[in-house]
């Protein structure tokens, strides 16, 4: 087996974990003009801080954030409370939230080592992977804002922005992965149009974190009490449009309830339904079909009418740095032509990654039928898109501000031998990922 690449990446990770920031000693300033310049800068920073304090006080007075004793924090459309096994989303900054300033920028850069190992199914593979995303949101006025995101990755692959380091150092492809307009009304209604971040509470069982739907969406957020919040979301998503003949689209909706009865406990649950109408397939390719069953004409064999149930419970009694969260996701495709029409995933996490020296540990298990989900939009964490069972072990560490190191091991195999294809149904596969994510 080729282990040289793995050894190098492990050494780099160890060096980053052991590294500690060193504070530079302040330089002496003995000239009056320099002192005046420094004083002017401090006064400007003081004014900026006062403005931020005023905005926070206004936010508290508007009840967008409740008191800590029974807090329920409003979720932005791209801030799902559950993301069970998409390691690439960890440390990801807010994207489609209403801009705090007139113009806001955010983004992230990720470097990855990935090793794929097998007993006898496939040869071992080691590769380097990277991704970059840059977002900009502009607040036009008190109601309207617009935003965009540019990212690396194949423009024909909606569920990945990663690129492999290969091809004799060819330049990376850059795509416009988001372009949207947003309207925030005073009654808790948010309207989105264009290509935008996923508006639903989700896990990557059904939705990969890199998928940005296109079409129109509406979100209604209502605080019933200080400890109960209800969010409903609906979407009309355009998948493929043709000049002659029917189009492909999706209509979906979700009801999400959040409960924070006290300081130590928080619960959330959601019911979602997605109805796909897959008539036009001219824009689909092998990366969209993936392992879903196909008919004699090359189209999808199954219909996709997905009922998705999600839930999570979090305990904060061990201190703010060590929250414990258990979450689950169950999906059933009522349009499946195959017998195994459902899938589920569970995840246990301990810890967080919000502050320097934070740790988070994770274990997850998932099992997915061959046509339980639409492979075009579900996760790409494994070499098998559907019809799999998988174990996940993960650990995150925050060595510096805005920097998260992650190691994730996927241990998986085909679920049913009849749909295993080129994979040995009895061979367990392993995929190891070492990620360094820098967000800003």
d(CA 95, CA 41): 30
For the four alpha carbons of 54, 60, 64 and 70, in that order, the dihedral sign comes to positive
d(CA 39, CA 167): 53
Please list, in sequence order, all residues whose beta carbon lies within 8 angstroms of the beta carbon of residue 40, skipping any fewer than 6 positions away: none
Which residue pairs from 133-136 have beta carbons closer than 8 angstroms and sit at least 24 positions apart in sequence? 133/107, 133/108, 133/161, 133/177, 134/105, 134/107, 135/93, 135/95, 135/105, 135/106, 135/107, 135/178, 136/103, 136/104, 136/105
Taking only the tens place, the pLDDT of each residue in 223-266 is 999 999 999 999 999 999 988 889 999 999 999 999 999 999 99
For the four alpha carbons of 151, 153, 155 and 160, in that order, the dihedral sign comes to negative
What is the residue-level pLDDT of the chain in tens, covering all 440 positions? 444 555 555 555 555 555 555 444 444 445 666 666 676 777 777 766 766 666 555 544 443 333 333 333 333 333 333 443 333 333 333 445 666 678 999 999 999 999 999 877 678 999 999 999 999 999 999 999 999 999 998 888 888 899 999 999 889 999 999 999 999 998 899 999 999 999 999 999 999 999 999 999 999 999 999 999 999 999 999 999 988 889 999 999 999 999 999 999 999 999 999 999 999 888 888 778 888 999 988 889 999 999 999 999 999 999 999 999 999 999 999 999 988 899 999 999 999 999 999 999 999 999 999 999 999 999 999 999 999 999 999 999 999 999 999 999 999 999 999 998 888 898 999 999 999 999 99
The answer to whether the beta carbons of residues 352 and 319 sit under 8 Å apart is no
By DSSP bridging, strand 359-368 and strand 248-259 are unpaired
By DSSP bridging, strand 305-315 and strand 265-277 are antiparallel
Taking only the tens place, the pLDDT of each residue in 45-102 is 776 676 666 655 554 444 333 333 333 333 333 333 344 333 333 333 344 566 667 8
**Whole-prediction pTM value?**
0.80
d(CA 79, CA 65): 15
What are the beta bridge partners of residue 313? 267, 326
The answer to whether the beta carbons of residues 434 and 113 sit under 8 Å apart is yes
């Amino acid at each position: 087996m080729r282990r040289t690449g793995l050894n190098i990446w492990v050494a780099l990770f160890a060096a980053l974990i052991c590294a500690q920031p060193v504070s530079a000693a302040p330089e002496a300033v003995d000239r009056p003009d320099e002192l005046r310049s420094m004083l002017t800068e401090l006064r400007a920073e003081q004014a900026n801080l006062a403005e931020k304090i005023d905005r926070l006080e206004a936010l508290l007075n508007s009840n967008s954030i409740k008191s800590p004793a029974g807090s329920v924090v409003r979720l932005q459309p791209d801030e799902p409370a559950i993301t069970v096994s998409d390691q690439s989303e960890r440390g990801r900054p807010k994207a489609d939230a209403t801009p705090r300033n007139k113009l806001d920028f955010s983004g992230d850069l990720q470097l990855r080592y990935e090793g794929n190992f097998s007993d006898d199914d496939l040869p071992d593979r080691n590769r380097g992977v990277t991704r970059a995303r840059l977002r900009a949101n502009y607040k036009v006025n008190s109601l309207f804002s617009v935003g965009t995101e540019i990212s690396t990755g194949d423009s024909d692959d909606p569920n990945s922005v990663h690129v492999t380091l290969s091809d004799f150092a060819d330049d990376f492809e850059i795509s416009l992965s988001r372009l949207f307009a947003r309207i925030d009304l005073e009654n808790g209604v948010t309207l989105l149009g264009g290509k935008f971040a996923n508006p639903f509470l989700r896990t990557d069982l059904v939705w990969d974190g890199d998928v940005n739907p296109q079409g129109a969406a509406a979100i209604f957020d209502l605080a019933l009490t200080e400890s109960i919040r209800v969010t409903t979301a609906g979407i009309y998503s355009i998948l493929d449009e043709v000049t002659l003949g029917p189009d492909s689209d999706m209509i979906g909706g979700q009801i999400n309830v959040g409960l924070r009865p006290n300081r130590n406990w928080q619960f959330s649950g959601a019911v979602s339904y997605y109805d796909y109408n897959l008539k036009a397939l001219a824009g689909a390719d092998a990366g969209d079909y993936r392992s879903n069953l196909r008919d004699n004409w090359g189209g999808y064999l199954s219909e996709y009418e997905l009922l998705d149930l999600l839930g999570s419970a979090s305990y904060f009694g061990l201190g703010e740095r060590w929250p414990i969260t258990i979450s689950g996701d169950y999906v059933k495709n009522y349009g499946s032509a195959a017998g195994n029409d459902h899938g589920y995933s569970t995840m246990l996490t301990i810890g967080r990654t919000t502050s320097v020296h934070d740790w988070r540990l994770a274990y997850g298990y998932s099992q997915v039928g061959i046509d339980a989900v639409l492979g075009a939009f579900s996760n790409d964490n494994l070499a098998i898109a559907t019809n799999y069972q998988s174990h996940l072990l993960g650990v995150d560490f925050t060595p510096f501000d805005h920097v998260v190191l992650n190691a994730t091991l996927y241990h998986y195999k085909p679920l049913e031998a009849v749909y295993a294809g080129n994979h040995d149904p009895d061979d367990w596969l392993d995929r190891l990922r070492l990620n360094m994510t820098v967000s800003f």
